[in-house]
Amino acid sequence: MNIIGKSVIRKEAFDKVTGRAKYTADELSVNTLHVKMVTSAYGHAKIVSIDDSLARQISGVRAIIKGSHELPLTGEEIRDRPPLAVDKVRYFGEPIALVVADRPAIAKQAADLIQVKYEPLSVIQSPSEALKADAPIIHENLLSYDKLGSAYPVPNSNIANVTKIRKGNIDQGLKQSDVTVEGTYRLSPASHAAMETRSAAAEIKPDGYVHITTSSQAPFMVKKLISIYFKIDVGKIIVETPFVGGGYGGKAPIQWEILAYLASKAVGGRRVTITYTREEDLTTAPCKVGLEAKVKIGSTKEGIIQAAEILYLFDGGAYSDKSIDVSRAGGVDCIGPYNIENVWCDSYCIYTNHPYGSPFRGFGHSEVLFAFERTMDQLAGKLDIDPLELRKKNAILPGHTTPTQVLLNRSSVGNLPACIERLKELVGWEEGKQVEEIDDRRVRAKGIACGWKTSTIDTDASSGVILTFNPDGSINLISGVVEIGTATKTVLAQILAEKMKMEVEQIHVKMKIDTQTTPEHWKTVASRGIYMAGRAVLAAAEDVIRQIKDMAAQILRASMRDLDIANGKVFLRDDPNISLDFKDIVYGYKFPNGHSIGGQIIGYGNYILRRLTKLDPETGAGQPGPEWTTAAYYVEAEFDKRDFTYRLQKAAMVVDIGQVLNRKGAIGQVMGGMSMGLSHAGRETFVFDELGRVMNPQLRTYRPIHYGENPDYLVDFVKTPDINGPYGARGVGEHGLLGMPAALANCLSAAADANLNELPLTPELIWRSKGAEL
């Protein structure tokens, strides 16, 4: 292969290093009005009154919008969320009102003058609190809400949904187990903290067309949902998305676009823009779910796992939106990548008075793997088996079934044993002990974890691609994948170049999405960008090749079967000198006497994920995704036994992604995921006070990992092709992150000789686990 595998520089590289790449809030125009939000100061409270009289007097204010029962309820599965709070607020940062004004400073000045009076209500700050018999019900009208998906909320409770996994016979499995281990685990909501905060612009033209520009991973979903919520013809909604400054799942939900739309409506359709401050981006916008978990694993004394009994209580926050799907995905892959015949899991999505959850890189998997892989390590300890050996013994393989009872084969599952073996080599696992003393205070410790993931997305998710030609025979590649930093669009160009046997420089990629003219790619999430859009590109390429050959067959008077294409030419397979240049036929062909045939060649292709099903509500059986990618993770840290502090030395990861399409690009995605996973595991969490207020809503107090705090990284790949993926590739956007928190927790648990079952793993947490002695 010529271009597949090569580390092609991303197409938009030079725009990004010169400040010329445009993101949503960079598109400024003089006649745009500015929106500022007023947000909730409490985690749970009745709104007694909203006094905007002073705000209305500020010169330059064009509209003030408050919540009302007239506004439609929003939400992707359960429509439980008013776009602006009505009667009460359910989380700190919830939008209450919008001010639309001539300039940002005026909008802010007016927003600061809006007085909201609250009557605080008791605050629910954890799933287990929410499940108590006397817990206040956050959504009194839970049953009356419309449902768009297949959620099963429980009446008179704070339960938005429960996903049940019932595989085999759990009682039998536990009976067959010589040894069981059990653990409880906890992590609080946290944030994606993308460097670009959420931003949207909206305009409603007199012809009724709604134009929205948004920093989103799901512009096509914006279009659909705004149509449903506001009863507008879906064809009259046009959504544009330029470059996105990081999403990691947090820009898959719809929120800021709704506010922009309401603001524009309030000023007669004039163009408005809203850009969240960092504080709003951290708290108002949807965040990463929290989790309380209980995991029990039973195994024979040789270490063959017989049963897993699991309870996941996801902190979905104040509104369910995408949290339900995250909790569902947590059920789908509720165990690690192991062959376990008897699995019993209840995965709940619970309402609390926290900022509400959304997809976060891994879609529930890193949270679930933290709980499961910590339990695996404890099992290894109890059995006195090397932790990697235990994983390998139980590795899920072709011929085994997943918790949702999908029978796997060599194409649909990666090779976990190979990942483990390669990881061992890469990091020198067999050399030295797991914990080695450096001096009387410090030890060097290693920890591992394994992970896997399939996507849990709509069963009819699809992706489309259009190809058009330029007069020089080069191709424009138009796909609905958003360029959020994954370089997917560049890889699509590589796939096309490979298929067309052209130079990748001859492929021009349209970066910006425009839902009216760009074919839909379901959502740029789930590590399915290349998988789905890559197949659509290949289909479109086949379409174009057929059209080219059709034209050439007429002109060269040969059978289409005797023609081939390469380097921008179509030619006779057995006599390449008989050829036509693309540039002479892609806009139609003109014979010497002037007669012309054909016309502009336009190619199209699409791909839909095949034979996916919903999960059975009682057993969880079903096919949620097309394949399972597997990986092995490693963390090495230097731990100070006196201070309980640690320094990340090395982090390694081996993942089976089939054919690597762009090596440096893939390594970059993986390292970025590893870094984010370690950052979350080591330091990131919201800190709430007793009123449910976020105490650390800034990047100086909510701290992502900084340069110099990161470890050295080692990354490698194992290759088990997925027959369905383009050139045998699997996705890899999320996988770097998945097992990192678990690997770090296992490393530090060994180092500190403690059971560290809570995130983030701060020195204070470790000190507490060791008795909190002064």
Partner 1 sequence: MPVSKSTKLLINGEEKEVTFYNAETLLSVLRHKLGLTGAKPGCLNGDCGACTVNIDGQAQKSCLTLAIEAVGKDILTVEGLDSPIQGAFVDHFAFQCGYCTSGFLMNCHALLTEKKNPSDQEITKWLESNICRCTGYKEIEEAVKSVINFSNKR
Partner 2 sequence: MSSYNFEYYKPKSIEEAASIFDQMDQQGKDPMYFSGGTEIITLKRLNQLKTGAVIDIKAIQECNVFEFHEDSLLTGAALTLTKVEELNLFPLLSQTVSEIADKTARNKITAGGNICGQIFYREAVLPFLLTDSELMIAGSDGRRNAPIKDVFNKQLLLNRGEFLVQMKTNRKYTEMPFVSIKRRRQWNTGYPLLTVAALKAEQGIRVAISGLTHFPFRSAQMEDALNRTDLAFEKRINLALSLLDVPILNDTEGSARYRLFVLKNTLYDIFQELEGDKLASIEEH
Contact residues: partner 1, CB under 8 A? 7, 9-10, 12-23, 25-26, 28, 105, 193-197, 243-246, 248, 275, 277-278, 484-487, 664-665, 667-669, 671-672, 674-676, 698-700, 704-708, 710, 712-713
For the CB of residue 746, give the shortest distance to partner 2 in the complex, in Å. 18
CA torsion sign for 49, 55, 56, 60 is negative
Q: Is 93 in the site for partner 2 (CB under 8 A)?
A: no
At 154 the three-state DSSP class reads coil
d(CA 313, CA 292): 5
For the CB of residue 145, give the shortest distance to partner 2 in the complex, in Å. 35
Q: Nearer Cβ to partner 1, position 650 or 770?
A: 650
At 243 the three-state DSSP class reads strand
Using the contact rule CB under 8 A, the part of the chain among 78-86, 156-164, 378-386, 641-649 near partner 2 is 641-649
For the CB of residue 486, give the shortest distance to partner 1 in the complex, in Å. 7
Plot region of 257 (φ>0 → left; ψ -120 to 50 → alpha; else → beta): alpha
Strand (E) or helix (H) holding 273: strand 272-275
For the CB of residue 34, give the shortest distance to partner 2 in the complex, in Å. 12
For the CB of residue 678, give the shortest distance to partner 1 in the complex, in Å. 8
Q: Is 771 in the site for partner 2 (CB under 8 A)?
A: no
Q: Nearer Cβ to partner 2, position 587 or 767?
A: 767
Quick one: what does residue 562 bind among partner 1, partner 2, none, with the CB cut-off 5 to 8 Å set by partner type?
none
Q: Is 708 in the site for partner 2 (CB under 8 A)?
A: yes
DSSP-assigned letter for residue 539? H
Quick one: what does residue 713 bind among partner 2, partner 1, none, with the CB cut-off 5 to 8 Å set by partner type?
partner 1
For the CB of residue 504, give the shortest distance to partner 1 in the complex, in Å. 15
Q: Where are the beta strands (DSSP E) in 587-662?
A: 587-590, 596-600, 602-608, 629-640, 646-656
Quick one: what does residue 767 bind among partner 2, partner 1, none, with the CB cut-off 5 to 8 Å set by partner type?
partner 2
Q: What are phi and psi of 89, to 5 degrees?
A: -110, 145
Q: Nearer Cβ to partner 1, position 138 or 487?
A: 487
Q: Is 683 in the site for partner 2 (CB under 8 A)?
A: yes
* Ranges within 710-769 binding partner 2 (CB under 8 A): 760, 762-764, 767-768
Q: Is 440 in the site for partner 2 (CB under 8 A)?
A: no
Cβ-based neighbour number of residue 448 at 10 Å: 30
Residue positions counted in the chain: 774
Strands 587-590 and 596-600: antiparallel
- Select from 1, 597, 687, 723 the one that contacts partner 2 (CB under 8 A): 687
Q: Which of 461, 536, 527 is nearest to 496 (CA)?
A: 536
- Select from 24, 40, 74, 109 the one that contacts partner 2 (CB under 8 A): 109
d(CA 45, CA 82): 15
d(CA 67, CA 118): 15
Using the contact rule CB under 8 A, the part of the chain among 341-349, 360-368, 705-713, 715-723 near partner 2 is 705-713
Q: List the beta bridge partners of residue 446.
A: 636
For the CB of residue 629, give the shortest distance to partner 2 in the complex, in Å. 30
For the CB of residue 257, give the shortest distance to partner 2 in the complex, in Å. 25
Q: Nearer Cβ to partner 2, position 613 or 698?
A: 698
Side by side, the strands of the sheet bearing 646-656 are: 435-437, 442-453, 629-640, 646-656, 712-718
For the CB of residue 287, give the shortest distance to partner 1 in the complex, in Å. 14
Q: Is 705 in the site for partner 2 (CB under 8 A)?
A: yes
Q: Is 610 in the site for partner 2 (CB under 8 A)?
A: no
Q: Is 48 in the site for partner 2 (CB under 8 A)?
A: no
- Select from 26, 27, 102, 112 the one that contacts partner 2 (CB under 8 A): 112
Encoded tokens for 47? 């709104």
> Is the peptide bond prior to 760 cis by the omega test (within 30 degrees of 0)?
yes
For the CB of residue 298, give the shortest distance to partner 1 in the complex, in Å. 37
Angle formed at CA 694 by CA 689 and CA 696, multiple of 5 degrees? 110
Q: Which of 467, 466, 465, 469 is nearest to 587 (CA)?
A: 469
At 86 the three-state DSSP class reads coil
Q: Nearer Cβ to partner 1, position 371 or 513?
A: 513
d(CA 197, CA 255): 13
Encoded tokens for 664? 């440096």
Quick one: what does residue 25 bind among partner 1, partner 2, none, with the CB cut-off 5 to 8 Å set by partner type?
partner 1
Q: Nearer Cβ to partner 1, position 449 or 541?
A: 449
* Ranges within 277-296 binding partner 2 (CB under 8 A): 279
Task: Give Rg (Cα) of the chain.
Answer: 27
Strands 179-187 and 290-299: antiparallel
Q: Which residue has the tokens 């991973």?
A: 217
d(CA 112, CA 694): 19
- Select from 143, 438, 695, 723 the one that contacts partner 2 (CB under 8 A): 695
Q: Nearer Cβ to partner 1, position 222 or 676?
A: 676
Q: Nearer Cβ to partner 1, position 21 or 135?
A: 21
Quick one: what does residue 696 bind among partner 2, partner 1, none, with the CB cut-off 5 to 8 Å set by partner type?
partner 2
Q: Nearer Cβ to partner 1, position 98 or 667?
A: 667
Q: Is 408 in the site for partner 2 (CB under 8 A)?
A: no
Q: Is 642 in the site for partner 2 (CB under 8 A)?
A: yes
Q: Nearer Cβ to partner 2, position 441 or 546?
A: 441
Alpha helices by DSSP H, listed for 428-507, are 488-500
Helices (H) and strands (E) in the chain, counts: 19, 32
User: Residue 755 burial (CB < 10 Å; 0-12/13-18/19+)?
Assistant: middle
Q: Is 773 in the site for partner 2 (CB under 8 A)?
A: yes
d(CA 416, CA 392): 7
Three-class HEC string of 400-430: CECCCCCECCCCCECCHHHHHHHHHHHHCCC
Instruction: List interacting residues with partner 2 (CB under 8 A).
Output: 105-106, 108-109, 112, 279, 642-643, 647, 682-683, 687, 695-696, 700-701, 703, 705-706, 708-709, 760, 762-764, 767-768, 772-774
